[in-house]
Amino acid sequence: SLAYLNKKHISIEKNKTEILDVYWTTSKKTVTLEEKGGRTMAKILELDLENEERLCALGSALSSPARIQILKLLYHNSFNVAEIAEKLQIPTSSAAVYIRSLETAGLINTKMQKGSRGSMKICSRKYDNIDITLTADDPDVDKVYSLSIPIGCYSDCEVMPTCGIASESGMIGHDDR
């Protein structure tokens, strides 16, 4: 397992034929993994206990099986409120309330679009993963992202300082400071 400390970019070989560019930022509390060519692979929301209001909204939004079904439905496609209600066999008014809750929690994107009878709200999934850190932010502890890559399945590593390689128990060698 390789651990990359405070890094912004790395290129790795995927299935020995595809090159995968991995980008992330920790300052925005969002991690985006991208394949070469810009195709988004994963959007990760990072939260900690300092985000009380957001955590409460998130917990409330995820406390309903119907809202979880909406998130599942939005995994591959975007839908308007009426389509979501039809697919889940729930009233349109209930679907609208559930969507508002998911939107308030920041789990889905919505945009207004012209429809055949006025405008309609198009809903899409905003994140693929949610990571909640339950410990306080400690300046003496580096944030570590770990990625297991079998030996021989990686190439072309582009790393910005300060970084290094670590195992589960600590640093291997020394960092580049």
- Report the CATH number that the domain containing residue 70 is assigned in CATH: 1.10.10.10
67 located within any domain = yes
4 located within any domain = no
Please report where in the chains the tokens 């979880």 appear, as a residue.
68
142 located within any domain = no
Alpha-carbon distances, residue 107 vs 49, 70, 93, 126, 170 (angstroms)? 18, 11, 19, 5, 35
3 located within any domain = no
Q: How confident is the model at residue 157 (pLDDT cuts 50, 70, 90)?
A: low
Top pLDDT among 6 and 138 is at 138
What is the 8-class DSSP label of residue 130? E
Tally of domains in the chain: 1
Q: So what's the pLDDT on residue 36?
A: 46
What does pTM read for this prediction? 0.59
Q: Domain span at residue 118?
A: 51-129
Give which of 42, 11, 34, 21 is closest to 154, Cα–Cα: 11
22 located within any domain = no
Could you read off the pLDDT of 28-52 as tens digits, one per residue? 444 444 444 555 557 888 888 888 8
Rg of the Cα atoms in the chain: 20
What is the 8-class DSSP label of residue 170? S
Whether the CB-CB separation of 88 and 73 falls below 8 Å is answered with yes
Q: So what's the pLDDT on residue 51?
A: 84
Q: So what's the pLDDT on residue 21?
A: 44
- Give the range among 65-69, 85-89, 141-145 with minimum mean pLDDT: 141-145
Q: So what's the pLDDT on residue 91?
A: 96
